[in-house]
Structure 1
Amino acid sequence: MAAASGKSVLFVCLGNICRSPIAEAVFRKMATDSGVVDKWVIDSGATSDWNIGSFPDARGLACLRRHGIDSDHRARQVTKQDFESFDYILCMDESNLSDLKRKANSIKNLKAKIELLGSYDPENELIIQDPYYGSDKDFETVYEQCVRCCSVFLEKNS
């Protein structure tokens, strides 16, 4: 799954329809704009199986479009192979982190470094709150956090 002599990152949230597809799209655009997208495998997934096959939330897609970013992602659940093939699995909150670390305990060939995406936030906002039950403003907040975090993550891994 990893790009030849490249790096790989999987963004994860509960349902893979709000936060993680925004982070994936933001990071993909940053990598593209930096001319390094061909050096990365970039994806997103869910800890749950609730939304498999669904498009991202319409409010998240609208937020991305306002910032000139498109996404054709379909929700999927994190697999055992993800832990073995991705360099980084970056999640949004403590619940995601706990779920991922529990699943990682059963992986023999664990490769992925599992972290909170917010650990890269220069404003030290560690948790990226789920905007699902919120407003367009909450999706914009998620977008802004993802921009800050993905920028630092890309810089540290370039």
Structure 2
Amino acid sequence: MKSALFVCLGNICRSPIAEAVFRKMATEGGVVDKWVIDSGATSDWNIGSEPDTRGLACLRKHDIETSHRARQVTKEDFMNFEYILCMDESNLSDLNRKAKSVKNSRAKVELLGSYDPQKQRIIKDPYYGSDEDFEKVYEQCVRCCKAFLEQNS
């Protein structure tokens, strides 16, 4: 099985969008049964919460549903996931620091944006922004997830 964990600060905006987009692409590509797909947060602020309503509205607009509940990244994630794909430099440094404390870490920790054909490496947090900002996150996730899936099929 291949595996990808999408990570942002709170697991209510960017990472659940990326997870849902990737799951839909893998489903449409007929490979979803070959993947373990999840998302998580570097912080513990929103554990158990549904994704932001603006993010859910954005996904619905593109015919994507999610039932994800926010969770924090665990030490086990570094042993169980092949890829941990995060949204910005702050997530990246937090995850790399956590990975060092895990003996059997096998996860490749990367910026999801490193797969962006448009070279927008950072997926900015839309939490304090508008619906337009959530749409931009969605579009970045589509580009990045498509490229990531193509490289890992």
TM-score range, shorter chain: over 0.9
CA deviation after TM superposition for structure 1 residue 132, in Å: 0.1
The aligned amino acid for 1:148 is R
CA distance in 1, matches of 2:25, 2:117: 17
Give 5+ residue unaligned stretches, structure 1.
Answer: 1-5
Any idea what SS the aligned residue of 1:10 has? strand
Q: Which of 94, 97, 122 is the aligned partner of 1:99?
A: 94
RMSD: 0.2
CA deviation after TM superposition for structure 1 residue 105, in Å: 0.7
Matched positions, count: 153
TM-score between the two structures when normalised by the length of structure 1: 0.97
Alignment of 1:33-48 (within 5 A): 33-48=28-43
2:13 corresponding residue in structure 1: 18
CA distance in 2, matches of 1:75, 1:110: 22
CA deviation after TM superposition for structure 1 residue 59, in Å: 0.1
Any idea what SS the aligned residue of 2:125 has? coil
Give 5+ residue unaligned stretches, structure 2.
Answer: none
Sequence identity, in percent?
Answer: 80
CA distance in 2, matches of 1:16, 1:72: 13
1:78 corresponding residue in structure 2: 73
2:106 corresponding residue in structure 1: 111
TM-score between the two structures when normalised by the length of structure 2: 1.00
CA distance in 2, matches of 1:84, 1:58: 32
1:145 aligns with 2:109: no
CA distance in 2, matches of 1:20, 1:139: 12
CA distance in 2, matches of 1:44, 1:85: 13
The aligned amino acid for 2:93 is S
CA distance in 2, matches of 1:38, 1:22: 20
1:5-25: CA deviation from partner (whole Å, max 9, x where unpaired): x10000000000000000000
CA deviation after TM superposition for structure 1 residue 110, in Å: 0.7
1:59 corresponding residue in structure 2: 54
* 4+ residue segments displaced more than 2 Å: none
The aligned amino acid for 2:144 is C
